[in-house]
A and B are shown apart, each in its own frame.
Chain A
Amino acid sequence: MGEIIWLTVKLAGITTVLLLILATPVAWWLARSQAWWKEIVGAVVALPIVLPPTVLGFYLLLALGPDSPLMAPLQPFGIRTLAFTFEGLVIGSIIYSLPFAVQPIRNAFQAIGERPFEVAATLRASPMDAFFSVALPLARPGFLVAAILTFAHTIGEFGVVLMIGGGIPGETEVLSIEIYRLVEALEWDKAHQLAGLLLVFAFAVMLSLLLIERRTGRLRP
């Protein structure tokens, strides 16, 4: 039981860190670009919201499987497939939670507006300098929301994890899958414990999100 919880938290933590790094430039570009086709990229990023997790999982299974051309570059390193591995699970989780990280960060960047960047420019800050000294700190609430949503969403995912992970103990067996397995095995008491744990966790997540929203709403100048 402890191992499953640890694996789930580890997956969610790694996914959150990697996804924040990946989502930041994407969100920045989506917030600032004037390109007419940027919403096409925006739609692709948002796809996991509406796509059935099993569909996403199915394509990921193909993409990470031994016959996939995407895996060819990894062959020389002795990696034939990432399906049914922890690494594959991380990749799946990143794609699955991408919109939950990109959207709040993009909104936060957009809410800054043009003026602070003009201020920074007239105070000798180069665009790169302004990104780090103005954009990132001003978008901090967006990053906090993105991190919480990504973490929670990864903890709660089921379909994708089942498709590309398969529920191998110690490798890809996470909480949501364990609950499913317990119910199948009619172990209701244990299922109750885990389900209750996730319920409390979910409530804490929503509460903290609302508190962040209230605080940043009040602090806005």
Chain B
Amino acid sequence: MSRAPGRIEARFSGRLGDFTLDAEINAPAAGVTVLFGPSGCGKTTLLRCVAGLERLPGRLVVEGEVWQDEARFLPAHQRPVGYVFQEASLLAHLSVRRNLLFGFQRTRDEQRINLDQVVALLGLEHLLERGVARLSGGERQRVAIGRALLSQPRLLLMDEPLASLDRARKAEVLPYLERLHSDLAIPILYVTHDPAEAARLGDRQITLSEGRTGPVIDTRDEAQGARLAARLAEVGPERLFEDLCATGVPPELAQLTLAALLAGLPPWRISDGGR
């Protein structure tokens, strides 16, 4: 059995209802890996497969530990993941404090993050004793993130955690997400359809289209970005598009890259899947 410490290796392929997923993730287990694509492209399904909430034929190895292969399927409650759903999905019968501690009390792993740290990180001091019905949308999502962190995940899965929030609430939660990134050493798989979010939070990006994944793109390579931007100014978007396609970049990915360049967002280096 191949052991690859420090990586997330997933490959799922199969049908779920009338949707076909044929997806691969092969990325370092560090920083934020963005799963990017339009709604209905399968990114949530892929994330649910990683969490064990959905079961499709395939293989999943996280930091050398096999969570799924032909012979085994680790049930969701035995996987050390934290999952942040699109809607906060707090447990309505519990206070904020007891929501936060729900996973914390059940984990058998070494407790690296405690309540005080999470409360400070996410600014939850004044909310602890409240019932969850009396929270704003942004507060609910922060509690959901804190709850996931306190379950001591080795991998944090976030499914469009900002999508259900309005612009003001988004602006409220986004800085906390960036702090997660800089303050914690937990690798994150982050699903979004918002290019600005992807650019702001992601270290690398995997684009999905109709259930299929593209290669892993490094979004923090500034030299590459500057070169592409210069080339764009020089030859124009159509020629650059053709150039990118000629080097083996899938058309939809080349299009995204161009769109990002034109929007002034950090452009993305095409890598060979991070190997």
Contact = CB atoms under 8 A, between A and B. Distances in A.
A212 to B, nearest CB: 15
Contacts of A121: 52-53, 75-77
Given A116-B91, A138-B93, A221-B132, A125 B85 contact: no
Contacts, number: 71
Interface of B: 51-53, 75-79, 81-83, 85, 87, 89-93, 102-103, 106-108, 132-133, 147-148, 151, 157
Contacts of A213: none
A122 B157 CA distance: 10
Nearest to A118: B53
Interface string A119-142: 111111111010001100110100
Contacts of A220: 92
Given A118-B53, A119-B85, A221 B92 contact: yes
A219 interface: yes
B76 A137 contact: no
B162 to A, nearest CB: 18
A121 B78 CA distance: 8
A122 B83 CA distance: 6
Interface string A86-115: 000000000000000000000000000001
A123 to B, nearest CB: 3
A129 B106 contact: yes
Contacts of B51: 122
Query: Main SS of the interface on chain A?
Result: helix
Contacts of A119: 83, 85, 89, 91
B138 to A, nearest CB: 15
Contacts of B133: 219, 221
Contacts of B83: 118-119, 122
7 contacts: A115-B85, A119-B91, A121-B52, A122-B79, A122-B82, A123-B148, A140-B93
Contacts of A116: 89, 91-92
A140 B87 CA distance: 23
Contacts of B87: 115
A138 B102 contact: no
Nearest to A112: B92
B148 A134 contact: no
A125 B92 contact: no
Sorted nearest first, the 10 A-B pairs with minimum C-beta distance are A123-B103, A122-B83, A121-B76, A124-B106, A137-B93, A121-B77, A221-B92, A123-B102, A119-B89, A123-B151
B90 A221 contact: yes
